[in-house]
A and B are shown apart, each in its own frame.
Chain A
Amino acid sequence: MVDLSTNCGGIRSPNPFWLASAPPANSGPQIQRAFDHGWGGAVWKTLGTPIQNVSSRFGGVDYRGLKNIGFNNIELITDRPLESNFREIYETKKKYPKHAVIVSLMVETREQWQDIIKRAIDAGADGLELNFGCPHGMCERGMGSAVGQEPKVNQEITSWAVEYSTVPVLVKLTPNVANIVPHGLAAQRGGAHGVSLINTIKSIIGVDIDRFVPQPFVAGRSTNGGYCGAAVRPIALHMVAALAREPEFRIPISGIGGVTNWRDAVEFMLLGASSVQVCTEVMLRGYRIVEDMIEGLTDYMRDKGFSKLDDMIGKAVPNFTEWGELDLNFETVAKIDANACIGCHLCVVACDDGAHQCIHPAKDSRVPVVDEAECVGCNLCQIVCPVPGCITMAPVDNGFAPATWNDHVHDGKPLRPKKAAH
């Protein structure tokens, strides 16, 4: 039996799939519907002094006909009265005692933090998430990423919150920093029970080339917004992994950023996330996506022989290392499966123009030929090939013992001769 029950920093939920603090978690009726669909938890849309939003608020990046591979927004925290939010938190918790309701908060002064934390907990919050991440609007008022970018301020406000809270406190980090590690450590020093990351990335999603205005269009002007959705996943994965492999960092991580399906969730968990949060994909496709996420994760765990999430959380972290620790003597060459090849020659042009000029058209066949003596094993061809499994990267036994750059520099271990470096 596979058990999906989740514990992230002391916050428990039936599964690791949480709604991120954002429009899908804007109100009680929404979150209750999400729980009915199967979501394990929800981080309530950030509460603070209710704001006034603009129209329009969102933008999408399309690529080769795929809509919204990246997404951005210039919306702020909740615009609803705090009383309504707290009443709905109470009702939701009453109806769904086993699901996790985490309340996201963002205020300015110590007194405001004390007050709002008390009200959130009185309403029934299972945990708090401190929004130190919003990269637009709120940071100009000294909140959001303005806090997340200053480890000292982050630590101080975290310590206030931990002091006033009787439930676990997560700190939501901003990716708009050069190195995430000091910010995660600052939250840990402040006493946080876990961190959530990433919030959105500062961005301009596009420009209206007819009206000469960046997007989204607000009465002829625009502003920088927060980038999210599938396209940001690689950045989020890196930040999660950077904290997960940091020896001094010991608190749990709730992974966010471009999670769209169970595979993405598995990737985050293998790199150290105890739960995952989703915003954009729900905005684009609705709560119903969680059905596949639960099934996919369950089947994956069953196939791999994992019975509980802890069996897999962080399993890829030891294999995430620095460049200097990679084996330079590991050699691969591209192999094309002639039976699978459809003759598109995309590998030919990619290798010719973008790699090392070593895939050549064959004389009497559309199946190209790899010049293995020249192939550097970069795998560009494999990436552009439209046929799954057609191009594989086959290891080559070159007779050299493994040697990393560090081995080479420190111990003088020999490196194999370079290929295609004429």
Chain B
Amino acid sequence: MAKLDPNRSECAFTDFKAPYDRDQAVMEANRCLYCHDAPCVTACPTSIEIPEFIRKISTGNVRGAARTIFDANIHGMSCARVCPVEVLCVGACVHNLQHVPPIQIGKLQRYATDIAYAQRWQFFEAGAATGTSVGLVGAGPASLACAHELRRLGHACTIYEKRAVPGGLDTTGVAPYKMRADQSLDEVEWIMGIGGIELRTGVEVGSRPSWAELQAQHDALFLGFGLGVDTPLSIPGEELAGVWGAVEFIERLKLGKVAVSTVRNAVVVGGGNTAIDAVRELLGLGARTVTMLYRGTEAKMSGYGHEWEAALVEGARALWQALPVAVLGRDRVEGLRCLRVDDDKRPVQGTEFELEADLVLVAIGQAKLGELVAGLPGVGVERGRILVDGEGRTGNAKIWAGGDCTNGGMEVVNASAEGKRAARSIHAALKGGEKGTQGHG
């Protein structure tokens, strides 16, 4: 697997949520009510039997706990770190209704999965070879989960990844105070431990190999290529040095080096989770002041409240209801010209003001890659998203898809769940032979 620079910028970060040791884990596990038909399970996109794995931690059956987690979610290790549990399982914990602190499910999951990794426990074996082969596009969580499940069912898998490193945004995107790139690569290696998954990096599907070549080589395809580049502001001066797409910048700090310590005034444009991550990352890397510039109100921001609260504690500033209209500067960015916006996010003329900035990150979304599949007959696209049914089937009977490229950008856990679900569907189709050729809507 690709070697990472040991001095890359992300290594400056430590865990935002400290891990549990055994005593802490057991004590927390013992608080769990062991609900039946539990709301936390329903809230988890991969439906991990949470009360069951927690009970196993409480009895000292950590191996069993890890098995329960991975059986439902092969990304159990990264999910434990990167899932927004506050709005998923932990948010659904019944303790919330009693105004008792909810069970720290993510930390318990991390406890069990970290031990499983440290002990190199392997839980899964490849199924008996079926003789069929599936090609997967992109080596992000969606494809990896799909491939792992396909291997359990005995299908050969080849993953094509355009980057040098696998793992998708789990490797290149998630905040380093949740998980570092090397940990994501460990996970990829762990998942590939089932054997029989061929990973081809540096391969951009669509150009070389072409879709036709790929279709000829495999009995089925899974599309898990995620989203595209950062959406630009499309305002004058955006080409100036010091203006970055946030996802691109984050990839740099995760895999290489960024110079932030001399930055005096950083501005992050946007109000979603990528924007908040960028703010916290800049603060962590030593930028003097970091301001989030968002056209909505604090109440309306799409980023999670718990993340923004953490950013505030770390020193974030915000400018609500304002919009950049030009990037100012001669050789490089020196500031932003902004306008106030009203409650309907419409610019209000005459409210122009200037904001000093020596670094600007643009976090207003990522391009959808729908046009990539233009050459694939039957694959429907709507506003850049690949259209799939509940099983991940596209309109082409031999092509499935999942993850960010279908859902428009959600979480690792959604991508993993969708990849696995598609694998089951692919298996049913390949096994059924005819069923696979019938075509579906």
The stretch from A77-85, A87-95, A340-348 touching chain B is A340-348
Inside 8 A of B33's CB, which chain A residues have their CB?
344, 346, 386
Shortest CB distance B248–A (Å): 44
Inside 8 A of A343's CB, which chain B residues have their CB?
35, 39, 94, 97
Among the listed B35, B36, B37, B58, which residue makes an inter-chain contact with A65, where contact means beta carbons less than 8 Å apart?
B58
Inside 8 A of A65's CB, which chain B residues have their CB?
26-27, 29-31, 58
Task: Judge whether B36 and A345 touch: CB under 8 Å.
Answer: yes
CB interface residues, B 27-45, toward A, < 8 Å: 27, 29-31, 33-39
Task: Judge whether B35 and A346 touch: CB under 8 Å.
Answer: yes
Task: Judge whether B58 and A387 touch: CB under 8 Å.
Answer: no
Inside 8 A of A342's CB, which chain B residues have their CB?
94-95, 97-98
Q: A361 near B: Cβ within 8 Å? A: yes
Among the listed A66, A349, A366, A387, which residue makes an inter-chain contact with B98, where contact means beta carbons less than 8 Å apart?
A387
Inside 8 A of A346's CB, which chain B residues have their CB?
33-36
Residue of A whose beta carbon sits closest to that of B94: A342
Among the listed B27, B38, B58, which residue makes an inter-chain contact with A345, where contact means beta carbons less than 8 Å apart?
B38
Shortest CB distance A68–B (Å): 14
Q: A422 near B: Cβ within 8 Å? A: no
Task: Judge whether A344 and B36 touch: CB under 8 Å.
Answer: yes
A348 CA / B37 CA spacing, docked (Å): 9
A346 CA / B35 CA spacing, docked (Å): 6
Inside 8 A of B94's CB, which chain A residues have their CB?
342-344
Shortest CB distance B84–A (Å): 22
Task: Judge whether A349 and B36 touch: CB under 8 Å.
Answer: yes
Inside 8 A of B29's CB, which chain A residues have their CB?
65
Shortest CB distance B439–A (Å): 36
Q: What per-residue 1/0 map shows which CB atoms of A49-84 lie under 8 Å from chain B?
A: 000000000000000111000000000000000000
Shortest CB distance A388–B (Å): 10
Inside 8 A of B36's CB, which chain A residues have their CB?
344-346, 348-349
Shortest CB distance B53–A (Å): 16
Q: Which of A64, A348, A387 has the most CB of B within 10 A?
A: A64
Shortest CB distance A421–B (Å): 25
CB interface residues, A 334-356, toward B, < 8 Å: 342-346, 348-349
Inside 8 A of B97's CB, which chain A residues have their CB?
342-343
A305 CA / B298 CA spacing, docked (Å): 58
Inside 8 A of A345's CB, which chain B residues have their CB?
35-38
A343 CA / B37 CA spacing, docked (Å): 10
Shortest CB distance B348–A (Å): 44
- Given A343-B94, A343-B97, A344-B94 in contact, is the A64-B58 Cβ separation under 8 Å? yes
- Given A65-B30, A344-B94 in contact, is the A366-B58 Cβ separation under 8 Å? no
A66 CA / B98 CA spacing, docked (Å): 21
A288 CA / B256 CA spacing, docked (Å): 60
A343 CA / B42 CA spacing, docked (Å): 13
Shortest CB distance A260–B (Å): 20
Shortest CB distance B254–A (Å): 39
Inside 8 A of B37's CB, which chain A residues have their CB?
345, 348-349, 361
Residue of B whose beta carbon sits closest to that of A348: B36
Inside 8 A of A349's CB, which chain B residues have their CB?
36-37
Task: Judge whether B35 and A344 touch: CB under 8 Å.
Answer: yes
A65 CA / B94 CA spacing, docked (Å): 20
Inside 8 A of B98's CB, which chain A residues have their CB?
342, 386-387
Inside 8 A of B38's CB, which chain A residues have their CB?
344-345
A122 CA / B295 CA spacing, docked (Å): 91
Residue of B whose beta carbon sits closest to that of A65: B30
Residue of A whose beta carbon sits closest to that of B97: A342
Inside 8 A of B95's CB, which chain A residues have their CB?
342
Residue of A whose beta carbon sits closest to that of B29: A65
Inside 8 A of A344's CB, which chain B residues have their CB?
33, 35-36, 38, 94
Inside 8 A of A386's CB, which chain B residues have their CB?
33, 98
A387 CA / B97 CA spacing, docked (Å): 10
A64 CA / B36 CA spacing, docked (Å): 17
Inside 8 A of A348's CB, which chain B residues have their CB?
36-37
Q: What per-residue 1/0 map shows which CB atoms of B59-95 lie under 8 Å from chain A?
A: 0000000000000000000000000000000000011
Inside 8 A of B58's CB, which chain A residues have their CB?
64-65
A138 CA / B155 CA spacing, docked (Å): 70
Residue of B whose beta carbon sits closest to that of A387: B98
A107 CA / B391 CA spacing, docked (Å): 80
Residue of B whose beta carbon sits closest to that of A343: B94
Q: What per-residue 1/0 map shows which CB atoms of A302-346 lie under 8 Å from chain B?
A: 000000000000000000000000000000000000000011111
A386 CA / B94 CA spacing, docked (Å): 10
Inside 8 A of B31's CB, which chain A residues have their CB?
65
Inside 8 A of B35's CB, which chain A residues have their CB?
343-346
Q: What per-residue 1/0 map shows which CB atoms of B368-411 lie under 8 Å from chain A?
A: 00000000000000000000000000000000000000000000
Inside 8 A of A366's CB, which chain B residues have their CB?
39
Task: Judge whether A64 and B30 touch: CB under 8 Å.
Answer: yes
Q: What per-residue 1/0 map shows which CB atoms of B349-366 lie under 8 Å from chain A?
A: 000000000000000000
A344 CA / B33 CA spacing, docked (Å): 8
A328 CA / B33 CA spacing, docked (Å): 34
Q: Which of B27, B33, B36, B39 has the most CB of A within 10 A?
A: B36
Shortest CB distance B62–A (Å): 16
A271 CA / B259 CA spacing, docked (Å): 77
A335 CA / B97 CA spacing, docked (Å): 19
Shortest CB distance B97–A (Å): 4
Residue of A whose beta carbon sits closest to that of B51: A344
Residue of B whose beta carbon sits closest to that of A388: B98
CB interface residues, B 2-49, toward A, < 8 Å: 26-27, 29-31, 33-39
Shortest CB distance A313–B (Å): 38
Shortest CB distance B198–A (Å): 44
Shortest CB distance A350–B (Å): 8
Shortest CB distance B160–A (Å): 44
A346 CA / B38 CA spacing, docked (Å): 9
Q: What per-residue 1/0 map shows which CB atoms of A283-316 lie under 8 Å from chain B?
A: 0000000000000000000000000000000000
A65 CA / B34 CA spacing, docked (Å): 14
Residue of A whose beta carbon sits closest to that of B42: A366
A345 CA / B39 CA spacing, docked (Å): 9
Shortest CB distance A368–B (Å): 10
Q: Which of A65, A66, A348 has the most CB of B within 10 A?
A: A65
A386 CA / B35 CA spacing, docked (Å): 10
The 9 closest A-B pairs by CB, nearest first: A65-B30, A349-B36, A345-B36, A342-B94, A342-B97, A344-B35, A344-B94, A345-B37, A344-B33
Residues of A in contact with B (beta carbons under 8 Å apart)? 64-66, 342-346, 348-349, 361, 366, 386-387
The 17 sampled A-B contact pairs (Cβ below 8 Å) are A64-B58, A65-B26, A65-B29, A65-B30, A66-B30, A342-B98, A343-B35, A343-B94, A344-B35, A344-B36, A344-B38, A345-B36, A345-B38, A346-B34, A348-B37, A349-B36, A387-B98
Known contacts A342-B94, A346-B36, A349-B37; 11 further A-B pairs (Cβ under 8 A) = A64-B58, A65-B26, A65-B27, A65-B30, A65-B31, A65-B58, A342-B97, A344-B33, A346-B35, A349-B36, A387-B98
